Chains A and B, each alone.
Chain A
Amino acid sequence: MTQIGEVALWVALALSLWGVGSAFLGGRQRRGDLVLSAERTVLAVFSLLVVTAGAIIWAFLHNEFQYEYVAGHSNRELATFYKVAGLWGGQTGSLVFWATLLALFGSIAVLQNRKRNREFMPYVAGTILFVLAFFLVVIVFASNPFKMLPFIPADGRGLNPQLQNYWMTIHPPTLYLGFTCFTIPFAFGVAALVTGRLDTRWITTTRKWTLLAWFFLTCGILFGMRWAYEELGWGGYWFWDPVENASLLPWLTGTAFLHSVMIQEKRGMLKQWNIFLILGTFLLSIFATFLTRSGLIESVHAFAENTTIAYIFLGFLAVVTLICAALVWWRRDRLQPESQVESWLSREAAFLGNNLVFVGAMFATLWGTTFPLISEGIFKQKINVGPPFYNRVNVPLGLILLFLLGVGPIIAWRRATPRNLKRNFLLPLAVGTVVGVALWASGIRHVEALLTFALGAFTMTTVVVEFWKGTRARAAIEGEGRARALVSLVRRNRRRYGGYIVHAGLVVTFMGFAGKAYDVEKQIALKPGESVDVQSPFGTSYHLQYEAMSWYDATNMTKLVASMRVERNHEPLGIMTAELRSYRQRQETNHEVGIRTEWDQDLYLILAGVDDPNGVIQGTDPRPMATFRVLINPLVSWIWVGGLLMAIGTLIALWPTVAVEPKVRTVPVRVPEPELVEV
């Protein structure tokens, strides 16, 4: 089976190289046979990559440790669940996985466009195959999953303990779905540049693809945050780690693109900017994969280290950047805007502002992420950039964004009149001000948190008012009940109201972030029977009593489990446990935290250390002293709720819209022909 997988890999490489040539040649010479061949090549490469990925999973499931990749990322005791996830648990397999997903999306795009967008398709197929060919070259020549060891080990090294978590089985695939999905709008963007068809068609064609990519990337980032929160055992969910940053970069430009395409659709503006954004988003997706897999920059998430691959990726990034820059330069005349921003008080201006903030945040994050390399290269001194830097730079940008989140969707296109401004913004501004003043009066002095809540209230009010106005109008016009009117309102205009729900989700998430300002932490060494009291920022008092330490052998690991009896305001809540896991095969220790989630705060328990772990296991010291870190993390659950809202909103926007004729009477207006003036 594995040999078939290896052969499939080589055939896929040869086919994709053929496909690149036939696609571009077919497009240039307008030869339908070559174009068809290229399109079928995408489908064939997908089938072959499925065979390759299947062969790798088969090798994992059958403990074929003669393969270096399997031996390095699995062992006999590893649960089947994680053996399947081993496909993306290491660098080599994850590259195969990346390529398979890209081939899948490429195949769907080819099948979707059998009868439409025919002038684009040679270059769309060619671009997808070009990216596939690059990945296949890397896989075959620099990171082959079928590379054999000179001997067959009795057992493998096992999977990295931090990856043995259920979020790990869904977080990387979701993130990769997002990265690869952005390749399709990128391919259409390249095709639009090559063909010179730079009107809105490539944008309307790829609108759903962009939304789908954004959906996957958003979910992937949130799953990663949840994984970090549960698995890394330090009490946080976002660390501004280089690999986390790498996933955020394409999300920022992708979000900017989602907004700026609306301006091109409505006003024919920002054509050049949209092309830059989609090209940049794709390049940043490749950069993210490079950063995760190269190990060039120190990261808690860098599970691989291969500088050869790093340089190949950098070369590919440079080549694609040059090609894209040349295409944009070639087509610069056709990328001129059809109209201008008429007023700074308009939706176009608000969207421009939001784009500037998104791209500014992207640049600041990219700059911080790469600064250790830049400083080492230029100043011969490695200067690290940690979370405080990103917070100082990005929090003000986030606050501006939160404000624009409320302004953008409801300010008028072209030019907002004083009446429009008053009608739309009076209530939201009043609510935002009331919240801000009330919080200030009640003693909240953390400026960023205060502004987040005030601006969040402003934006949330704009969303609620939009739903209210729409429902009321619909109920009046159609004679429907309020609930039914709300449902049909959303159903009739999924893109718009789905977008509002995404905005509401983002506001809730931002408020969850602001809760971080009130984190409480206590570290204490306790003997069984001793206890600790922790006061929550919401006035709740937690009493934790260390009951006992137990141990047991589980598949693949030995666990030390500390039990704590927990009371909240003197009311018993039950037992919480926190674990220290020793993974036998890799001889690594990992913290498994205890989390008790409530709507307003999380009680988070870490077993930081045990005085005599061997004594516990051998029974000589069954009641050891243990060190605990107890944290109270306010509003963390709001982040997950906000994320869920964002996902729901995106799915609503993605759902096919029912075509509805607008209920507007056609009014004949006599407009005289303008006189032609010779210039």
Chain B
Amino acid sequence: MLLALALALVVARPVAAQTVRSPSSLPHADVANEAISQLRSPFCPGLMLAVCPSDQAAALRDSIHVLAARGWSAHRLVEWMISRHGEEWRALPKRSGPGLWAWVIPPLVLIGGAAYIVGRLRRARAVASVFPAPSVAISSADREQLAVALRQWEEAEEAGEVET
């Protein structure tokens, strides 16, 4: 419980700072940052616009902030940049056209995989219930001895004497 409270205190500290609104936390800055986070940089191969250290990238980021301050939406800002520099700088595939496949396939495979595993295990359990293992009669004395042995095993396991 102490650990939990300590952790909560450490992580809760950001909130104290967030009460002071810096210029970058203004709504239009959020819109600009959202747009910037969806764009790759034409000036740093392989890097996102948000982190590209070149001067041109800084100028482009500034332009996006200016347009956001004029009320442009994040979507409009992204399309504006793409129309000027090219489709290859889009970092987040569109959710339409060929880009849709990027989004659809991973969850489909995950859901399909989960369904396959569940189905296969159900089938295996159904087969096991049709052909059950021969029942073994254990007397109550044996059952008691087993319980004692299991308790001892559990104690030994907790003490690290046996590998689980």
A527: min CB distance to chain B, Å = 16
Please determine whether B117 and A352 come into contact, CB atoms closer than 8 angstroms. yes
Bin chain A's interface residue count.
Answer: 35 or more
CB neighbours (8 Å) of B125 from chain A are: 340-342
B131 closest partner in A (C-beta): A679
Please determine whether B90 and A363 come into contact, CB atoms closer than 8 angstroms. no
Please determine whether A489 and B12 come into contact, CB atoms closer than 8 angstroms. no
Residue B156 CB within 8 A of the other chain: yes
Please determine whether A535 and B160 come into contact, CB atoms closer than 8 angstroms. no
Please determine whether A473 and B155 come into contact, CB atoms closer than 8 angstroms. yes
Residue A379 CB within 8 A of the other chain: yes
Residues of chain A in range 439-475 having any CB-CB distance to chain B below 8 Å: 439, 442-444, 449, 453, 456-457, 460-461, 464, 469-470, 473-474
CB neighbours (8 Å) of B145 from chain A are: 667-669
Please determine whether B88 and A384 come into contact, CB atoms closer than 8 angstroms. yes
Q: Of A239, A457, A668, which contacts B7 at CB under 8 A?
A: A457
Docked complex Cα distance between A353 and B163 (Å): 23
Residue A518 CB within 8 A of the other chain: yes
Residues of chain A in range 369-389 having any CB-CB distance to chain B below 8 Å: 371, 374-375, 378-379, 381-389
Please determine whether A363 and B93 come into contact, CB atoms closer than 8 angstroms. no
Docked complex Cα distance between A591 and B44 (Å): 13
Q: Of A367, A383, A535, which contacts B99 at CB under 8 A?
A: A383
Docked complex Cα distance between A514 and B164 (Å): 32
Residue B137 CB within 8 A of the other chain: yes
Residues of chain B in range 22-62 having any CB-CB distance to chain A below 8 Å: 22, 24, 37-38, 40, 44-48, 51-55, 58, 61
Per-position 1/0 for B95-116, Cβ under 8 A of A: 0001101100111011001100
Please determine whether A536 and B3 come into contact, CB atoms closer than 8 angstroms. no
B152 closest partner in A (C-beta): A664
Please determine whether A457 and B15 come into contact, CB atoms closer than 8 angstroms. no
CB neighbours (8 Å) of A434 from chain B are: 1, 4-5, 8
**Taking A387-B48, A538-B17, A539-B13 as contacts, is the C-beta distance between A667 and B163 under 8 angstroms?**
no
Scoring A474, A522, A668 by chain B CB atoms within 10 A of each residue's CB, the highest score goes to: A474
Residue B92 CB within 8 A of the other chain: yes
CB neighbours (8 Å) of A360 from chain B are: 106, 109-110, 113
CB neighbours (8 Å) of B12 from chain A are: 438-439, 442-444
Residue A636 CB within 8 A of the other chain: no
A522 closest partner in B (C-beta): B24
Beyond A383-B102, A386-B38, A671-B136, list 20 extra A-B contacts (CB 8 Å). A337-B124, A363-B106, A381-B87, A384-B40, A386-B48, A431-B1, A431-B3, A438-B4, A439-B11, A443-B12, A444-B15, A477-B155, A495-B163, A538-B17, A539-B17, A608-B53, A634-B14, A662-B153, A662-B156, A663-B156
Interface residues, chain B, with chain A CB atoms under 8 Å away? 1, 3-5, 7-8, 10-18, 20, 22, 24, 37-38, 40, 44-48, 51-55, 58, 61, 87-94, 98-99, 101-102, 105-107, 109-110, 113-114, 117, 121, 124-125, 128, 131, 133-139, 142, 145-146, 148-149, 152-153, 155-156, 158-164
Return the 3 tightest CB-CB contacts between A and B, nearest first: A386-B91, A674-B134, A234-B51
